[in-house]
Structure 1
C-alpha cells in the first residue's frame, strides 16, 4: 500500500540534550507548525534533520533518537555534522539562495565549497529517503534547502508521485540567472511532478527561467521535460485559523493578556513582528514611523509602536550590522519625540510564544507588515484571524505574498517611506464600520483557505496528475528492456536507423557545436563492428558535416532528411534531382526576421534553408514564429516546398523529401530480423510510419508520436546502444 512522506530540512520535532538526557520539543516555524497536525492525522512519515549535530550525540543517543522519533512521532532523522550544517544551511542556503531569491543580490555569496556541501546534504537526505520510499508512494518535498532532492527521487523511483513546495519567493529570470548553479537547481526541481509556489508571480518567474535557461516548452503552466510533464501552480499557504480565532481561558494566557492591556492604556498601538533579517524592511519601517510622527504631531503621546524582533543569525556580520542599525534608529526616534511619560517605540529584541503573540495581535490597532520581499508572511494572516472584534487593520507591503489575499487592507510600496507613513495614518483613522467590513471579508477567506485546505489542495492536485497519460499510446522502453535485448541477441541481421540531433547528442546553441563526442564515436564503432549490424545515420544535417564528423567510420548515411544517400566506401548519391531557384527569395525573408530576432540564425544547406531560434527570447518567438510561417507559406503555395518543423528550427525544403522516403531503399533491398528506428522530433515521424509494423520505433522524449516506444533522453539512447554493443561482443 502506498504511503505519504513529507521531507523538509527540519523535523516537526527538535531533539536536544539537557544534563545528558535527550529532550524532544515541538519545532518552531511556519512549516512545522502548519503541517504537524496534518502529519499526525494522516499517518504520514516525516524525514528531516532533528536539530542536533552528529558530534553532540553518542551511538546510544543515535539509536534512541531513531527509535523514539519513529515510534512516537512517525519521523525519520537525517543526521548531519556541525560542519555540514554550517556549510549547507548557514552557508549555501542562507548566504546564497536566501538573499538571491529575495532580490538582495548584493548579499549573495557564490562559494563552491558551500555548493558542494549543499549537494552532498541533498544526497544524504536521498539516502535516508531511499530506505523507506517505494515506487508508488507520494512524496512532498519542502523548501529551498532541498531543491536537488526531487530529481534524485524521481530517477530512483520513477513511479512515485513527487511534489515540491517553495516557501520563499522564486525570483525573476534576470535575478535567478546570476546563480552559478542555476541549471542544476532547475533540473533538481523538475524531478517533481508538481511544483507549488505561493503566488502566480512566482509561478511566472519559474516558468520564465525554465524556458529561457533550459529551453523547455510549456503550455498552461505545464512544462515538457524529457519524457515527462511537470505542472507548476500557485498554492498560497494558509494558517491554522482556529488556533488564532478561538477563545483562550487558561490562566497563563489571561495573565499575559492583562499585562498587554495594562501597557496599552489609552494609547493607540501599532504592532511589528519580524525575525531579524534584511529582507523584512525593518529600518525602512522605522523611518516611515519617524516620518509619520514628524508629519502628524497630534499623534505624539497617543500612539506607540511595539516592535518585536526575534533574534536570528546574530553571529553573521550583516545581521549584527542590521541589529545595530535598528537599535540606533529606535534610539534616535525615541530621543527625538519621547517624553518622561511617553516613548514612541517599545523595542523588544526577544522571542515570544505563539499565545503571547496572539494577545499582542488582539490588542494592537494596526499591524505593520512591510517586508522588502517575502514569500508569503503568515504573521499578517495570523493578526487578522486573531482580531475577534474585527477592528484591526494591516499596512502591508505589496511585495509580500500575503498581499494578494489581503488586498482590502492598506497596501504600500515598502521602499516608499512617504507612502508607508500615509498608510499608517490611513489605518489609524479608518472608520470602525469600514474596518469591520474588511475584517469579515478577509477572515472568511482565511477560515476557508486554512493550512489544511492548502495541504489538501496541493496533495489533491498531485494525486490527480496521471503520469501514465503522458504516453497513453507508447510504452516506456526502459520497462521493456529485456524484450528488445532478447530480440537484439536473437537477430542475425539487424538494421538501426538513428537520428542525430536530440537522439545521439543533446542540442547546442549553434548547430555546428553539436559534434560527436569520443563516447558516442566509441559506442558506434563497437556496434558497427558487429557484421550482423547495418547502422544508418538519418539526419537533417548537411552531407558535408556528416562526412567531416563520421567519414572515418563504417556507417551508412541519409543526409538532408533523405535527399542524399551514402554507403560505406561509396560516393554520395541524390535520391531525387532538385533545383535551388527558390532559395534567394526565401532567404531574404528569413534574413529579415533573423535581423529582428536576436539569437536566431539562418543555416543554408545544399537544397534547403533552416531557421534556428533556440537562442531567441521565448516570448518573442511566440509572437514572431506565426508571422514567419505565414510569410513563407504565402510564397511557396505554388511550389513543391514546405516547412518542416523540428526542435527549435523551421526548415524549408522540397515536400517530396523526408526520412520515410529516404529509408525505403534499405528496407526494399534486404530482409532484416530486427529493424530499429529512433528519433526525437516531428521530422522523424515519417521514419516511424515507414518502418515495418514489427519494428522497434523509439521516440526520444515526450509528445504525440507514431513510435511504439519512448525513451527519456539522448542519454538513455546512448545507454541502450552501449547495451547493444555489449551483447554484440558477447555473442560474436
Structure 2
C-alpha cells in the first residue's frame, strides 16, 4: 500500500486526542488510520545558524517539522496567506492588503518546502497537500521531478471568478493548481467556482470536472470533511465531563443555554450573532432570565488589524448587551476569549440547548457536526446554521438562516428555543445519520481513493443522501 504524505502549515499533536482546530483534528485522524509522513512548519520564527528540519516517529507516522526563516514568516503567513488569500477566499475583497513582497515570500516559502520535502518522497507515494498556504507546492514538486500522485484539498471556500480576479497573480495560482492530480473542495459551489475560474483564466481543456493542461489531466470534486462521530460522542458523555456538565448547569440561573464556538475571525459572523441575541431579548421579553448565551472565541492572528478590530467590537457589544439586559442574578452573554480543550467543548456542546453556527462564509465548519454528535438523542438541541457555511449543503434539517439578517436570526433563535421535542428528535436523527455517513474516515477514504486512481474516479452526483 502506498504511503500517505500529508503537507500542511502546522503538524497536529498526534499524542493529544483533545487537540482543537478543524484541519489538525481531521488530518490527525486520517494519517493515523493509514500511516505515513506529516510535513509542516516547525512553529518557530527565530533564526538559528544550524536550524534544520526536526524528524520524529510517532506510532506509524513520521513527522517532519520544517523551518521558515523569520524574514519570510510575516510576509508569507500574516501577509499573503492571511491578509490576501484568506479574506479574498471568504469573499471579503475589501479586506485584502496585497503587497508584492507578500507574494514573493509566499512563493519563496513554497519553494523551500518543496526542496525540504523532495528527498523524503518515493515514486509510489500519495502526496496530500492541504490548504491555501501551499497552492503552488504541487507545481514546484513537479519541477523537481516528483512523479508521485499529488492531491490538494482546500479547507476554506473557493471564490467565483469575479472575486478571484482581484488577486494580481490569479493566473499563476490557477495554473499551479492544475499540476495536481486531484483538487478537492468542501462543497459543490466551490467545485463550480473552480471550474469557472479554470475556464476564464487558463487555456485548459475542460470536460465536466476534468481538466487537461500542459499534458496533465486533473480531476476536481467535493470531499466534505467530517468528524470522528463515535470519538466525539464519547468525549461529550464521559464521566468526567458529565460531572463538569452537572456542576455547570447548577451554576446557571437560566434554564437554557445557547452556545457559539468560533476562532475570533471576521468571517464567523460573531458581531451579528451578538446583535441578533440582543434583538431576540428585545422582541421576546418573556425570554429574559430563561436563556444565556456562551460565546467561546479563542484568539487568532491578532497581529492583523482586522482581528484586533473585531475583538474590540465583541467586547463592546457584550458589555453593552449585558449592561442593558442583565440582572443581579443573570448575565445574558458570557464571552470567553481563550482556548478551551476539545473534551471540555464536547461537554459544553452537549449541555447547550441551541448551537449558533452563523458564519458569513465558511468552508465547512465542523462545530456544526460536533454539536449534532454531542447531543443526547432523547433530548437533542437545535442547530442554527448559516446558509453560507459549507455544512449547510449537507445539513438542511438545521434551522438555516441568513447571517446578514439580524431580524431573521433573532426569530430563528426564538424558534430554536421553543421547538417541540418531537421536531427536535426528528431533525437530529437525520442530521446525525448524515454526519455519520460523511465522517472523517469517509472523507479520507474518498480522497485517497480518488488520488490512487483519478482516471477511474466518478465525480459526485450533486446530492446528499441521508444514509
TM-score by length of 2: 0.92
3-state secondary structure, aligned to 1:207: helix
Shift of the 372–195 alpha-carbon distance from structure 1 to 2, 3 Å rule, reads same
Q: 1: CA distance between counterparts of 2:59 and 2:427? A: 46
Partner of 1:417: 406
For the 8 Å contact 2:18–2:342, the answer to whether it is kept is: no
Q: 1: CA distance between counterparts of 2:262 and 2:90? A: 16
Partner of 2:426: 437
Cα drift, residue 73 of structure 1: 4.7
Partner of 2:262: 274
For the 8 Å contact 1:138–1:161, the answer to whether it is kept is: yes
3-state secondary structure, aligned to 1:140: strand
Partner of 1:4: 4
3-state secondary structure, aligned to 2:404: coil
Deviations 1:458-508 (A, max 9, x none): 1111112249xxxxxxxxxxxxxxxxxxxxxxxxxxxxxxxxxxxxxxxxx
1:175 pairs with one of 138, 163, 176: 163
Deviations 1:358-417 (A, max 9, x none): 111111111111111111100111001100235111111100001111111110111011
Cα drift, residue 157 of structure 1: 3.9
3-state secondary structure, aligned to 1:7: strand
Deviations 1:695-715 (A, max 9, x none): xxxxxxxxxxxxxxxxxxxxx
Q: 2: CA distance between counterparts of 1:430 and 1:251? A: 29
3-state secondary structure, aligned to 1:311: coil
Range with bigger deviation, 240-249 or 93-102: 240-249
Partner of 1:48: 40
- Name structure 2 gaps, 5 residues minimum: 457-467
Deviations 1:103-144 (A, max 9, x none): 111110111111111000000110111101133321111000
Shift of the 433–108 alpha-carbon distance from structure 1 to 2, 3 Å rule, reads same
1:80 paired to 2:68: yes
Range with bigger deviation, 79-88 or 399-408: 79-88
Q: 1: CA distance between counterparts of 2:396 and 2:32? A: 33
Write the mapping of 1:130-209 to structure 2, written as runs, cut at 5 A: 130-157=118-145, 159-209=147-197
3-state secondary structure, aligned to 1:131: helix
Partner of 1:394: 383
2:28 pairs with one of 17, 28, 36: 36
Cα drift, residue 158 of structure 1: 5.7
Cα drift, residue 37 of structure 1: 3.0
Q: 2: CA distance between counterparts of 1:431 and 1:27? A: 35
Q: 1: CA distance between counterparts of 2:270 and 2:349? A: 18
Cα drift, residue 252 of structure 1: 4.5
3-state secondary structure, aligned to 1:306: strand
Write the mapping of 1:633-712 to structure 2, written as runs, cut at 5 A: none
Q: 2: CA distance between counterparts of 1:71 and 1:452? A: 19
Cα drift, residue 265 of structure 1: 4.8
Deviations 1:635-659 (A, max 9, x none): xxxxxxxxxxxxxxxxxxxxxxxxx
1:462 paired to 2:451: yes
2:111 pairs with one of 113, 120, 123: 123
Cα drift, residue 71 of structure 1: 8.4
Write the mapping of 1:305-704 to structure 2, written as runs, cut at 5 A: 305-389=293-377, 390-466=379-455
3-state secondary structure, aligned to 2:262: strand
Cα drift, residue 77 of structure 1: 1.9
For the 8 Å contact 1:152–1:191, the answer to whether it is kept is: no
3-state secondary structure, aligned to 2:403: coil
Shift of the 247–47 alpha-carbon distance from structure 1 to 2, 3 Å rule, reads closer
Cα drift, residue 346 of structure 1: 1.1
Partner of 2:291: 303
Cα drift, residue 247 of structure 1: 6.0
Q: 2: CA distance between counterparts of 1:112 and 1:143? A: 21
3-state secondary structure, aligned to 2:297: strand
Cα drift, residue 322 of structure 1: 0.9
Deviations 1:299-337 (A, max 9, x none): 011111111111112232221111111111111111111
2:241 pairs with one of 253, 257, 273: 253
3-state secondary structure, aligned to 1:275: coil
Aligned length: 455
1:227 paired to 2:231: no
1:111 paired to 2:99: yes
Shift of the 272–27 alpha-carbon distance from structure 1 to 2, 3 Å rule, reads closer
Which protein shows a greater Rg?
A: 1
1:95 paired to 2:83: yes
Cα drift, residue 70 of structure 1: 7.5
TM-score by length of 1: 0.60
3-state secondary structure, aligned to 1:310: coil
Q: 2: CA distance between counterparts of 1:25 and 1:393? A: 26
For the 8 Å contact 1:292–1:421, the answer to whether it is kept is: yes
Deviations 1:37-80 (A, max 9, x none): 3312312111111212352x674xx57x7343588851112111
Q: 2: CA distance between counterparts of 1:335 and 1:26? A: 35
Cα drift, residue 250 of structure 1: 6.0
Deviations 1:210-241 (A, max 9, x none): 11011433122111212122111111101111
Q: 2: CA distance between counterparts of 1:94 and 1:8? A: 15
